[in-house]
Amino acid sequence: MSGYLSGVLAILGINIIFAYSIYITAATGQLNLGGAGFQAIGAYACALLSNELGLPIYLTLVFSAILGGAISFLIAFPVLRTKGVYMVLATFAIAEIVAGIILNTDYLGGPTGMIVNAYIETEVVLVVAVIIVILGFYIMSTRIGLAMRAVHDDEAVADLMGVDKRAIQVGAFTIGGAIAGLSGGLYALYFGFIEAQYFNANISIFVLLYVLIGGTQTAWGPLVGASFFTLIPEALRIGDDWRFFIFGVIIVIMMIFRPEGIVTRDALERVWRQLFSGKRNV
């Protein structure tokens, strides 16, 4: 595998994992605009554990997921008291606070960043990405996934039907935080250097866009969205500025013609029917 290709694949893997973390929350109807904050927590946890304690790589990744999950579990209670726009802004505030704390802590390298000693190959990132994608599909196929969809479509009715709305929302937020922490850990180990400035508002916005453009109705959404927006610019081989300009244009056009995202339940059913027509009477 050439260096360029393996680099692109690693970024793709990290983006897909990150997209699933936001997707799990979005699937319950909560928009999380603070993804970068949870990613930063995972990245710094991973870096510290491997630099200071010399833990093996797999253990550091597990711990960065656990820490991301634990912190988002604690934050979930105050944050989920807020709704709608307030929730978006509260998660945004959390990401800003995390970045601010890292910038002000000398132990974490402050504004100069931190070098990570351990290192992982692209293959590890891809294996973890495959596991997370399977996990995402599995969660959405269980009763929990069904409850998440119910809460997403109508909170009040889901509540009336006996779905524990609060448990579902807190659970989804926690799992999302854990997966974001994991993606941060992988980022730290793959690139070998982390700084607070990388985990900025733009990263949170982009990952939310991957998910919303991919579609929040099915577990295909984040996979398609993250792959689309990571691979298309690479395939076009255009400068960074033009890349984001075209990204913006695609978003505006997408929202006009396919506001539910690239992959929707309807579209999937239609494809299924075409593939297996005759075998199934739908």
Q: Minimum distance between the CB of residue 172 and other proteins, rounded to whole angstroms? A: 15
CA atoms of 12 and 10, how far apart (whole Å): 5
Task: Annotate 53-109 with three-state secondary structure.
Answer: HCCCHHHHHHHHHHHHHHHHHHHHHHHCCCCHHHHHHHHHHHHHHHHHHHHHCHHHC
Residue from 109, 152, 225, 263 in contact with other proteins (CB under 8 A): 152
| One of 104, 112, 117, 141 touching other proteins (CB under 8 A) | 104
**Minimum distance between the CB of residue 258 and other proteins, rounded to whole angstroms?**
9
Choose the stretch contacting other proteins; rule: CB under 8 A; options: 9-17, 80-88, 130-138, 229-237. 80-88
* Contact letters for other proteins, residues 163-192 (x by CB under 8 A): ------------------------------
> Alpha-carbon distance 169 to 151, whole Å?
8
Among 59, 74, 236, 255, binds other proteins (CB under 8 A): 255
113: left (phi over 0), alpha (psi -120 to 50) or beta: left
Residues that contact other proteins, how many (by CB under 8 A): 49
Nearer to other proteins, 155 or 234 (CB): 155
Residue 132 beta carbon to other proteins: minimum distance, rounded to whole angstroms: 23
In 105-161, which residue ranges form alpha helices assigned H by DSSP?
A: 122-141, 143-153, 155-160
Single-letter residue type at 157: V
Helices 57-79 and 35-48, interaxial angle, to 10°? 140
By CB under 8 A, tell whether 130 contacts other proteins. no
Residue 194 three-state SS: strand
Q: Provide, rounded to whole angstroms, the least separation between the CB of residue 279 and other proteins.
A: 28
Q: Does 197 bind other proteins (CB under 8 A)?
A: no
d(CA 88, CA 85): 5
Segment contacting other proteins by CB under 8 A, of 10-18, 56-64, 180-188, 246-254: 246-254
Residue 134 binds other proteins (CB under 8 A)? no
